[in-house]
Structure 1
Amino acid sequence: MNYFVSKRQLSEQIGLSPETFKRYRLKGIWEEGIHWQKINSRTTLYNITLILDWIANRDNPQAHQRAIDIYLQSLPSNQPHKRGRKVN
């Protein structure tokens, strides 16, 4: 299950500073829409499941890419549309 947390929660969980998170975002190490989401000008949330996977698989980018693919497939926008009559 993937869920998003604040920078404070992520920092407590993985022991890195929010400045490190920003550096990873700006360098493109963590991808927007996958590892993090910009909510508004002051709030960024982080996908803790994928970040923990990234930490575990830093030396195996293919394994981390599989985790990203599974996450993307799980999104509601990637689910098959049900066919049938529309109920009013």
Structure 2
Amino acid sequence: MAQFISKREATQYLKLSDTTLKRYRLQGVLIEGIHWVRINSRCIRYNLELMQDWLHNRHDPVAHQRAIRIYQASLLSNRKKPSQPSTRNKLPKRKTSK
């Protein structure tokens, strides 16, 4: 499960200033819903794992896209629903009278 951290924590973990993080968000370098989420108008959280991967793979976008796909596939909303067993064959048989 992804760990989302505050701006202050992100600056400490990633060694980037809050101004740099904001600039990357506003320029579209960091993708909303992937690298960061907006909780409300004053609260932003960063996906620590993907932010670290982005820093390591800034010059290898293919590798970072692979990490994004893995993250998206891990979301509950992207998992397939378990198939429901058919109820047709499970209905009780009717007795027929002669």
Question: TM-score scaled by structure 2?
Answer: 0.83
In 1, distance between residues paired with 2:56 and 2:34?
16
What is the match of residue 5 of structure 2? 5
In 2, distance between residues paired with 1:54 and 1:2?
14
Report the count of equivalent residues: 85
State the AA in 1 paired with 2:13: Q
Moved over 2 A (4+): none
Q: How big is the shift at 1:14? A: 1.2
What is the match of residue 93 of structure 2? none
SS of 1:44 mapped into structure 2: strand
**Structure 1 residue runs without a partner (length 5+):** none
In 2, distance between residues paired with 1:60 and 1:83?
38
What is the match of residue 23 of structure 2? 23
Q: Percent of aligned positions with the same letter in both sequences? A: 51
What is the match of residue 72 of structure 1? 72
Q: How big is the shift at 1:2? A: 2.0
The structure with more radius of gyration: 2
**Structure 2 residue runs without a partner (length 5+):** 86-98
Deviations along 1:27-81, one digit per CA (max 9) or x if unpaired, are 0000000000000011000001001000000110000000000000001110010
Question: TM-score scaled by structure 1?
Answer: 0.92
